[in-house]
Amino acid sequence: MQTRWVGAPLIALLGINAAYAGVVLAKSWMIVEERWPELKENCRYPYSAIGSKAYGPKTRAIVSLCLHTNLIGSCVVVLLLCAQIIHDLTAHHFNICFCYWILIIAAIICPFLFFETPKEFWPAAALALGTTSIAVCVILWEMYKDHISGDFSHVRYPQPSLKTFFLTFGTIMFAYGATASFPTFQNDMRKRHKFPTAVIIAFIVLLALYIPIASVGYYVYGDLVEENVILTLEDGLNKTVIEILMASHLFFAFLLLANAPIQEIESWLKIPNGFNVKRLATRILVLLFIVFLGETIPSFGKILNLIGGSAIALLSFVFPPMFYMKLCSMNDPQWPKRNISAWEKLWLLQVIIIGIIGGSAGTLSALYEILSPKAFIAPCYINLNCK
């Protein structure tokens, strides 16, 4: 809605760029494993290790900071969005405040956080994709019904401002933020060389889900569309099904997103593998921190735009091409030579440039939105009746 019809091509461009960045990030990890075989086993921080081998220990620290900002922030967004959906789903049956739903959902998630790595709960990824795909189909059907009914025949299509345009940059970048977890997933695979193919397939599926929802939603609802498009739909059985499916998706997505930063924190603290008291305490404390952030800024849209324009812009668009080009340019008699063609370098450079420009502008726009007095929302521990 904030970019009018430019939104769909922007989703496609950033999706293609993010897919290519994901592919070269996967190739970078394979290069690192080839050159430093000791990292093949028991590496809890593969993305940071890529940065360290490419540009040194300072870069590893920067990557770790961005990684934790991104994934912890994404977990906050997912938790808030899940709470919002459950609150809307149960509003007619239970008089439970949105802020309390954040606590309830976190309590349900807590036991599932004790799985060590994604390979221990691989069905979560399949269930997350399956529930989303079904939900998108039902949402599109509901949008079609609303369009045919004529109830939204007089919607407006407002002209976007520069600020809203760059806010949308952050939103779309956030949608491709899973790239930060790719090295962790790849590290748990047996046939890691096939991960680039998996990345391409994943982004084709994502684009097939994102573009129809964005285009049809804007066409049908115009300026009436909510940040969470599900809340725009008419009440009924189909909306209930959609909310159940999306709540399930967000539940499983939270488990996948939280795992990467938790593993690196455990590595810093030298917590041994396997179930133990230190691991239990660490994961509970991380979850409590996520809950605190959610209760402090109970508006997922503001966090989404900020994280998307800052940490995700770096992790999903800027760092992967930089690290890949640097690793390929490094020479050692024992290493196979790798050359990057001129056209590939140009493409990688435009990925970096768009990531920097869009991310910087998106971050500034998001900060303005968060700090604006008109947009202030009281934390849940001050106003429990919010939403």
Q: Does the predicted TM-score (pTM) go above 0.75? A: yes
The fold adopted by the segment(s) 4-375 is Amino acid/polyamine transporter I (1.20.1740)
d(CA 203, CA 165): 23
CB–CB of 217/225 below 8 Å?
Answer: yes
Tokens read off for 352: 């970096």
CA distances from 245 to 61, 82, 148 (A): 37, 11, 25
Highest mean pLDDT among 42-51, 117-126, 241-250, 338-347: 338-347
More confident residue, 154 or 251: 251
Rounded CA-CA distance 85/20 in Å is 33
The alpha carbon dihedral of 259, 262, 266, 268 has a sign of positive
The reported pLDDT for the residue numbered 276 is 79
Q: Calculate the CA dihedral of residues 35, 37, 42, 45 and round it to 10 degrees.
A: -10
Q: Give me the pLDDT at residue 300, please.
A: 64
pLDDT band, residue 2 (cuts 50/70/90): low
Delimit the domains of the chain by residue range: 4-375
pLDDT value, residue 116: 62
Per residue in 257-279, pLDDT (tens digit) is 787 778 778 878 888 777 778 88
pLDDT at 180 over 90: no
Torsion on CA atoms 153, 154, 160, 161, rounded to nearest 10: -160
Which 8-state DSSP code applies to residue 191? S
Most confident of 122-131, 250-259, 369-378: 250-259
Which pLDDT tens digit goes with each residue over 18-71? 999 999 999 999 999 999 988 877 677 889 999 999 999 999 999 988 888 887
Residue 156 has pLDDT above 80, yes or no: no
* Helix (H/G/I), strand (E/B), else coil: 196: helix
Per-residue burial over 295-304, b = 16 or more CB atoms within 10 Å of its CB, e = otherwise:
bebbbbbbbb
| Tokens coding 127 | 């269930």
Asked whether the beta carbons of 100 and 245 are under 8 A apart, the reply is: no
CA 303 → CA 109, 253, 294, distances in Å? 21, 17, 9
Q: In this structure, are residues 107 and 272 in contact, taking their beta carbons and an 8 Å threshold?
A: no
Q: What are phi and psi of 360, to 5 degrees?
A: -65, -50
Residue 147, pLDDT score:
81
Position 55 scores a pLDDT of 95
Per-residue pLDDT, averaged over 216-222, amounts to: 83
Q: Work out the average pLDDT over 110-120.
A: 72
**Model confidence band, residue 384 (pLDDT cutoffs 50, 70, 90):** low
With H, G, I as helix, E, B as strand and everything else as coil, classify residue 338: coil
The predicted structure's pLDDT at residue 362: 76
User: What pLDDT does residue 351 have?
Assistant: 96
Q: What is the mean pLDDT of the chain?
A: 83
